[in-house]
Amino acid sequence: VERELQDALGSPREQVRAFAPDLVGLVAPDHYNGFFNELMPPFCIGTRTRSVGDYLSPEGELNVDGEAALGLAEHLMDEDFDVAVSRRMQVDHGFAQALQLLWGGLGTPPVLPIFLNAVAQPGIPRMRRCQALGEAIGRFLDAQPRRTLLIGSGGLSHEPPVPTLAHPDAAVRERITRRNEPTPAEREIKTHRVMAAGKALAAGTSSIKPLNPAWDRRWMDALASGGAALDALCALSEDSIEHEAGLSAHESKSWLVARSALPTDRPLTCSLSHYQAIPEYIAGFGVMLLKHPH
């Protein structure tokens, strides 16, 4: 499974490096490592961003273009998007892994980090709002004289053991509410718990919601097609997303934001599309590369 995945990732690495972006717009979720229920914005732009280094992802500062981040925030406010701004944003593998897979670490071109809440209702942004935000980001980037790569990073269908405020244990509810930094031992325990859940799902002995490859492929096809297919995707209800693809499938909205920054009324050139359902990772894993026709 890992060999097939790594083989598939070779092409996007080559294409991204050949494209040689001057700026990377990165839209991604967090999993209660930087954002907590005490204050959970639907969207947040980071002017300075640190990765915590979970699940073998790199720890450290992202190479953030703080001036561009502030410029984007001002632009979005002018377009009636009330986005949050963090001067010290903390994120996890949701952000770091995409950079790690493409550049080998956090030594990347300047990054514009955009957080999307995908874990805490009712503040998870709805589909149409994600599309509209992406379009507004695109208008900002159109005015930037830089070659820009947009990355939407997040799982497709999956429902790993991420707790919610409905959890019966008060200590668990407190852990996802109050901002805190877990100890290395606590992070290790969490990692092994998720690994065990993945092994159980792959073995067919888990009560976790199974992956939904048909839903995942529909999602990827709609992003590539644009037009009516993308409109139909944006009509999905919150309940249908969770019922069909799992509680964490809201992370897929990061793909929608990034895609919507490009023209949405027509297909784009798709130079790569790869999909694997990987129960061991508790995720439908997809990678696709879409290019603006100009």
Q: Which helix (H) or strand (E) is 71 found in, with range?
A: helix 66-78
93, 243, 250, 274: the catalytic one is: 93
292 is catalytic: no
Nearest alpha carbon to residue 157 among 219, 98, 105, 206: 219
Cα 68 to its chain centre, rounded Å, is 20
31, 75, 158, 274: the catalytic one is: 158
158 is catalytic: yes
> Long-range contacts: 236-245, Cβ < 8 Å, 24+?
236/127, 238/121, 238/124, 238/126, 244/157, 244/212, 244/215, 245/156, 245/157, 245/158, 245/212, 245/215, 245/216, 245/284
Q: Indicate which residues carry an active-site annotation.
A: 93, 158
